[in-house]
Structure 1
Amino acid sequence: MRFEQLRIQGLRCLDDVSLSLGAGVHVFAGPNGAGKTSILEAAFLLSHGRSFRSGAKDALLQRGASRISVFGEVRHDDGGMSRVGLGRSGQRWEARLDGEAATLGQIVGECAVVCFEPGSHALIAGGAEERRRYLDWGVFHVEHEFLMLWRRYQRALKQRNSLLRAAQTPPEAMFLPWEAELGQTAERIHQMRLAYLERLRPCLAASVGGLLPELGAVELRFKAGWSDDRALHEQLAEHRGRDLARGHTTMGAHRADWAIAFEHAPLREHLSRGQEKLTALACMLAQAELYAAIRGEWPIVCLDDLASELDIAHQSAVVAQLTQASAQVLVTGTELPAPLQGLTAQVFHVEQGQLAPLL
């Protein structure tokens, strides 16, 4: 899949940018603060409904602007075309698909973007939320039921948490239906996540082997978010007193986590910052490769500040894999990255939120 058109209005320093894109590699080069990363951020928004920058929600809107708007024309490898758009003037995103009002889930289902950027090491070194997002994005594109189940789970979780925070403790009968719903939906979500990780495992082993061969064999470890010795609804009932004291539900699918362990680095604390970045990159590439195997087309790949995040050897390895796969790649940097010199690439100069094609 690839973007043929990308239009961005009111996003950070990008006032009104319209891009025509083709297949292959596109490079956005320019000084720091010019708006290069915001172009990738716009693409990512259409695929995830959020920025890859932490705490970015309130900072997305350009100073003085009243609305953010991102629009993309997505060409699929089977020849189909989707027109996807997101706009926001308040707190909620408004989604459109082929000119009609749509849900955020419909937009995300039509546009797949993966990204490696300076904060990607948080996938390995950060909290569990980032790893759940990574996992669930992959599951969403494989299991059609996942989004419906996740919404059911979140509704039940919200209701139970409201009961836990009530001024006076509600009777047990008010908890039971929500705990039953949490148990039922969490188990199905858990099985979907396990199945996805099983499919991801060989892709990840190959990707890690190419980028971090010195760390040896790789292992994926997964925690459901509750003990596997009994059903979740039973454990929720048993630990209701603890949850009442804390005011929130302390176990369930929303507490799941996964980790990567290496033969020669069994704990994530054993990894250097550079190894964390390469591991996160391997996860991104593995997820993109699995998406391609299942859906028959590669997602769009964004690489932010490639030259400063990876050494020349790893830059070259990544570029070679992506060009061989015929993926559309959007790359940023202060200049054209060395591995791309001599390759066919569309290059744009970016400065003060303005773009000009160079090649």
Structure 2
Amino acid sequence: MRFERLQLRGLRCITEASLELASGFNVLVGANGAGKTSVLEAAFLLSHGRSFRSGAREALTQRNASALSIFSSLRHDDQRVARLGLGREGVRWEARVDGEDVPIGQLVRECAVVCFEPGSHALIAGGAEERRRYLDWGVFHVEHDFLSSWRRYQRALKQRNSLLRKGGPLDDALFGPWEQELARSASVIDQWRSTYLDALLPYLRAQAALFLPELGNLDLRYRSGWPDGEALAEILAAQRSRDLGRGHTTSGAHRADWSLSFEHAPQREHLSRGQEKLVALACLLAQAHLDAERRGEWPIICLDDLASELDLSHQAAVVASLTEVPAQVLLTGTEIPRPLEGTPKQVFHVEQGMLAPLL
């Protein structure tokens, strides 16, 4: 899949912009703060329904603007063209596909974007929430019933947590139905997650060998959020008193996590900051490879400020690997990265929120 056109209005420093994008490499160059990252952010919003920037929700809309909007013309590999739109006025988001109002989940399913940016190392060094988001985005695009199962799980979790905060009696009549629903939904979600990670592992190993061969073989460990081999419903019933004291549910699919270990770096703390970035990049590109296999078309790849995040040899490795696959790539930098010299590309100059293609 690829964006043929991307139109932005009222997004951060961009008042209005329209880009006609090439099918291969698209490079946005300009000074820091010019608005380059906002273009990648727009693509990510269409695919995830949220920004990759922390605390970004309040700052997304341009100062003194009442609304923001993102429109795109997305061509799939079967030549089908989807017209996508996402807008916000105040706090309410609206999504459209081919002119029809749709739930955001339907918009996100239409468009797949993976993005490597300065905060991506949090996938390795940050909390479990980042890793669950990564995992669940992948599962969402494989299992069409994932979203409905996750919503059922979240509803039951909200009800159980509400009962815990009220501090009433801990009897089965109140807690039992919600705990049974939590356990049923969690079991399905857990199986999907585990199956997805099993399928992802060969791609993770291949990407890690490309970028971090010195670390040796890679292994992955998945933790479901409750003890292996035990029934979640029974655990929840046994933990009511403890959870009452804490005011929330401490076991379940919302507590799941996964981690990577290497032959020569068995613990996360053994990785340098630079290696954390490379492991995160390997994870994102592995997910892109798996998504391409499952969908039959490549997701769009966004690389934010690649030259400042990676040294020259790793930049070259990334560019070389992406020239071998039919993926559209959106890349930003203060200048064109050296490994892209001589590679066919569309270049845009970005200055003070204004974008112009360069010949």
TM-score, normalised with respect to structure 2: 0.99
**Residue 348 of structure 1 aligns with which residue?**
348
What's the CA shift for 1:322? 1.1
Deviations 1:147-197 (Å, cap 9, x if unpaired)?
Answer: 110011011111111111115446431111100000000011000000000
Structure 1 residue 90: deviation in Å? 2.1
Partner of 1:137: 137
Matched ranges for 1:279-290 at <5 A: 279-290=279-290
Q: Which residue of 2 aligns with 1:73?
A: 73
* Alignment partner of 1:213 is 2:213: yes
The aligned residue for residue 268 of structure 1 is 268
Please give the secondary structure, in 2, of the residue aligned with 1:142: coil
Q: Hey, what's the Cα distance between the residues in 1 that align with 2:71 and 2:154?
A: 29
- Equivalent residue, structure 1, for 2:182: 182
CA contact (8 A) 2:170 2:241 kept: no
Find the aligned partners of 1:167 and 1:277 in 2 and give their Cα distance.
44
Cα distance in 1 for partners of 2:174, 2:232 equals 17
1:34-49 to 2 correspondence within 5 Å? Answer: 34-49=34-49
* Counterpart AA for 1:88: R
Give the Å deviation of 1:29. 0.2
Distance 2:256 2:34 in 1: 38
Aligned residues with identical type, % of pairs: 68
For each residue in 1:180-239, what CA deviation from the matched residue of structure 2 results, as whole angstroms up to 9, or x when unmatched?
Answer: 000000011000000000000001100000100000000000100011232101100100
Cα drift, residue 97 of structure 1: 0.8
Q: Distance in 1 between matches of 2:333 and 2:275?
A: 21
- Mapped pair 1:314 → 2:314: yes
Distance in 1 of aligned mates of 2:170 and 2:238: 16
Counterpart code for 2:79: G
1:324 CA drift (Å) = 1.2
Match of 1:25 in 2: 25
In 2, Cα distance between equivalents of 1:88 and 1:167:
38
CA distance in 2, matches of 1:160, 1:181: 10
Letter in 2 for 1:311: D
3-state SS of the aligned residue for 1:227? coil
Q: Secondary structure at the match of 2:54?
A: coil
d(CA) in 2 for partners of 1:57, 1:242: 34
Q: Does 1:163 align with 2:166?
A: no
Shift of 1:34: 0.2
Aligned to 1:126: 126
Runs of 4+ in 1 over 2 A off after TM superposition: 167-172
Q: What is the CA deviation profile of residues 30-87 of structure 1, one whole-angstrom value per residue up to 9, with x for unaligned ones?
A: 0000000000000000000000011111111110011111111110011111111111
Residues 170, 240 of structure 2: 8 Å contact kept: no
Q: TM-score of the superposition, structure 1-length normalised?
A: 0.99
Unaligned runs of 5+ residues in structure 2 are: none
Structure 2 counterpart SS, 1:22: coil
d(CA) in 1 for partners of 2:246, 2:136: 27
Secondary structure (helix, strand or coil) at the match of 2:28 reads: strand
Answer yes or no: is 1:147 the counterpart of 2:179. Answer: no
Inter-partner Cα distance in structure 2 for 1:358 and 1:81: 26
Q: Does 1:358 align with 2:343?
A: no
Equivalent in the alignment of 2:233:
233
SS of alignment partner, residue 298 of structure 1 = coil
Describe the superposition over 1:123-145 as per-residue Cα deviations: whole angstroms up to 9, x where unpaired: 00000000000000000111111
Structure 1 distance, partners of 2:5, 2:352, is 21
CA distance in 1, matches of 2:254, 2:240: 17
Counterparts of 2:229 and 2:77 in 1: how far apart (Å)?
45
SS of alignment partner, residue 264 of structure 2:
coil
Counterpart residue type for residue 321 of structure 2: Q
Q: Deviations over 1:219-268 (max 9, x none)?
A: 00010001123210110010011111111111100000000000000000
Contact 2:22 2:345 in 1 (8 A): no
On the 8 A contact 2:26/2:347 being kept in 1, the answer is yes
- The one-letter amino acid of 2:202's match is P
Contact 2:27–2:346, Cα closer than 8 Å, also in 1: yes
Alignment partner, residue 112 of structure 1:
112
Give a deviation string over 1:288-345, Cα, whole Å, max 9, x none.
Answer: 0001111111100000001000111111111111121021000000001101111111
Please give the alpha-carbon distance, in whole angstroms, between the structure 2 residues aligned to 1:26 and 1:203: 25
- The letter of the residue matching 2:292 is A
Q: Secondary structure at the match of 1:248?
A: coil
Q: Provide the rounded CA distance (Å) in 1 between the counterparts of 2:57 and 2:248.
A: 24
Distance 1:354 1:50 in 2: 23
